[in-house]
Amino acid sequence: MVEAVRQVEKPGTASGIGAVAGGVAGAAIGRGVSSDSHRTAGTVIGAVDGAVAGHQVEKYATSGKSWQLEVRFDDGTRRTFTRDAEPRWHAGDRVRLVNGVLAAP
């Protein structure tokens, strides 16, 4: 039987791709908007700012919501299942476990 269903925030992850892409884009923009005498500094500052921004954007893009279902089995054991999509079951619904997957009874 499903005892509880909770929606939880799934934290984002960053692989480094966002930081690299942001750094490259930031360097190009920093170089383009800097005067000739400050071009190197503009490139470096743009690269750093772009990398930080790219990292944060990647983390935000991979975050989301997930749902945890707490299930109590007939033998009294409890187990928590996590799903990325909103489950069709609610507290009080009966379910069964088939090959590690929750199913209707």
Q: Which residue has the tokens 């997930």?
A: 66
Judged against a pLDDT cut of 90, whether residue 72 lies above it is answered with yes
* 3-state helix vs strand vs coil in the chain, percent to 5: 40, 30, 30
**pTM more than 0.75:** no
Structure confidence by residue, pLDDT tens digits, 7-31? 988 777 778 888 888 888 888 888 8
User: Can you say whether the dihedral through the CA atoms of 95, 96, 102, 104 is positive or negative?
Assistant: negative
Structure confidence by residue, pLDDT tens digits, 75-91? 999 999 998 889 999 99
